[in-house]
Amino acid sequence: EPEVTQTPSHQVTQMGQEVILRCVPISNHLYFYWYRQILGQKVEFLVSFYNNEISEKSEIFDDQFSVERPDGSNFTLKIRSTKLEDSAMYFCASRRTGGVETQYFGPGTRLLVL
C-alpha cells in the first residue's frame, strides 16, 4: 500500500540553525500539507500546497518557514533560523484531488532545537 515517507525520523539542531525536513507524498496525490505537534499538545496545521504554490497557511507559518517541491516527488519544509519553540513532531500529509477526502500522514520527524 502506498504511504507517505519522511526523513529524517529525528533531528537535533542548535538554535539559529537552518533545518530542512523532507517528505515524499503518495505518488498520485496533488495536495500536500505540513502539520506540527508540540509535545502534549494538539496537531496544528502549518501549510497546504497545491499546483506548486501555497494554497493556505496558518499564523504559525511565518517568514521563518518555507516549503518547496523541488522535483516531482519530494516536498520539503525549511525552517531558516530555528527557535527553541520549534521543537516538535512535524508531520507531512497528502491527499488526492476532489471531494471530501482524508489525508494520509507520514510517520513524522521529531525536531529538537537546543
Partner 1 sequence: DQQVKQNSPSLSVQEGRISILNCDYTNSMFDYFLWYKKYPAEGPTFLISISSIKDKNEDGRFTVFLNKSAKHLSLHIVPSQPGDSAVYFCAASRTGGSYIPTFGRGTSLIVHP
Closer residue to partner 1 in complex, CB, 79/92: 92
Closest approach of Cβ 3 to partner 1, in Å? 9
The candidate with the shortest Cα–Cα distance to 23, out of 3, 43, 44, is: 3
Q: How close are the terminal C-alpha atoms of the chain, in Å?
A: 37
Question: At closest approach, how far in Å is the CB of 20 from partner 1?
Answer: 19
C-alpha span between 91 and 111 (Å, rounded)? 11
Query: Which residues here bind partner 1, judged by CB under 8 A?
Result: 4, 6, 9, 33, 40-45, 48, 55-56, 91, 93, 95, 100-108
Q: How far is the CB of 100 from partner 1 (least distance, A)?
A: 5
In the bound state with partner 1, the residue whose beta carbon lies nearer, of 67 and 106, is 106
Residue 1 vs 14, nearer CB to partner 1: 1
Strand order, beta sheet including 19-24 = 5-7, 19-24, 75-79, 65-68
To the nearest whole angstrom, how small is the minimum distance from the Cβ of residue 2 to partner 1? 14
